[in-house]
Amino acid sequence: MEQEYIGIDLHKAFFQVCAMGASGERLWETRWPTTDEGIAALLTHCGPQSHVAVEASSPTWAFVDRVVAHVGAVHVVDTRKTRIKAGYAAKTDRLDAQRLADALRRHSVVGIYYPPAAIRDLRELCRQRTQLARLQASLKQRLHALLLRQGVTLPRVTDLFGVRGTAWLDALTLDGWAGASLATLRQLLRDVQAQLGPVQTAIRERAAADPIARALDARPGFGPVFSLSVRAEIGTITRFPDGRHLASYAGLVPRVEGSAGRHWTGRITKAGSPWLRWTLIEAALHNVRRQDDFGRWARRLAVKKGLMKTRVAVARALCDEIVQTWPKA
């Protein structure tokens, strides 16, 4: 049976489909709702001869999970590297589906990594911890700002939210709506901490059970949270031949432009995985304190370039360590 190339412009409520033959002729096209019934209708038109291209977006993974076993291949398209709209004045859902199908037919789509369900579940766990930790830090900052606005002198404690600091906050009273804000922020902080505790426990348990996370955790400056987060965001290390490619995926490499013998290097690209980049930069701060050659190099660099630039450089260097440490299959 002749191979067909199917482009899908996927949206939350519906998806537009266009199927092309090997010579570029349109075989069929239609639109279905993004529901179980709509996807089932799509699969009645597909088979082992069908190659499907769909742009990467929020609903993509759930969609791909439902169709991947029923078609010949699914290509999740990186829209930043696949120029399907270049040279066209019009842009519609129908045209997008046609151009995806044509680009797939011409083998000119750039695909992205399709993580297995287990890796995606691990990512949800680590990202939930990150979001809760950010929210906790934000609430603490807002509490400090509130006390500063009210002219409150803080007690001489190491941690305002530790045992002594909490006892002092319990006894503190503020007039008017400032008191209401204090009570609200403290209650929100308690709620977030109550949610964060079980998540932290689950991460430590998963890190202890995962051989890759254990190998990363054995390195100085690595901890269970960092190790499991990196393991989840990378998924499969064989995608990266060396640390430079991993750093590029994390968006930690500088922009480079060259022309007519001139070479210009700019800020980091910030392309790729924002979660991996954030994790590496956060971990870099702990790795600066290492008592080995890596830590001494990082501290010398901090004196010379400043802490912010050093954190990016250390995060980039950590990519080499990760590739070297990751257990080989």
pLDDT digit string, tens, across residues 208-261: 999 999 999 998 888 999 999 999 999 999 999 999 999 999 999 988 887 777
- Residues 178, 146: contact at Cβ < 8 Å? yes
Angstrom distance (rounded) from CA 152 to CA 146: 9
**Alpha helix positions (H), the chain:** 36-43, 60-67, 93-105, 117-149, 163-171, 176-209, 211-217, 224-234, 243-249, 274-287, 293-305, 307-325
* pLDDT exceeds 70 at position 1: no
Q: What's the CA gap between 51 and 3, in Å, rounded?
A: 8
pLDDT of amino acid 265: 83
Could you confirm whether domain 4-105 is CATH 3.40.630.40? no
| pTM for this entry | 0.86
For the segment 6-13, the average pLDDT, to the nearest whole number, is: 94
User: Are 158 and 145 within 8 A, CB to CB?
Assistant: no
Distances (CA, A) of 126 to 119, 134, 194, 275, 318: 11, 12, 16, 10, 19
pLDDT score of 165: 95
pLDDT for position 260? 77
pLDDT score for 84? 67
Q: In this predicted structure, what is the pLDDT of residue 69?
A: 94
The mean pLDDT value for 7-17 works out to 94
Distance CA 266, CA 257 (A): 8
Query: What mean pLDDT is reported for the chain?
Result: 92
- Complete DSSP assignment for 173-240: ---HHHHHHHHHHHHHHHHHHHHHHHHHHHHHHHHHH-HHHHHHHTSTT--HHHHHHHHHHH--GGG-
Q: Contacts from 224-228 at CB under 8 Å and sequence distance 24+?
A: 225/126, 225/129, 225/200, 226/279, 226/282, 226/283, 226/286, 228/122, 228/125, 228/126, 228/203
Is-contact 223 246, C-beta < 8 A?
no
> What is the reported pLDDT for 205?
97
**How confident is the model at residue 85, as a pLDDT?**
60
Taking residues 141-169, report their average pLDDT: 94
Four-residue CA torsion sign, 138, 143, 149, 152? negative
- pLDDT per residue over 68-126, tens digit each? 999 999 999 987 777 766 556 678 889 999 999 999 999 888 888 999 999 999 999 99
Burial class (CB in 10 A: 0-12, 13-18, 19+), 115: middle
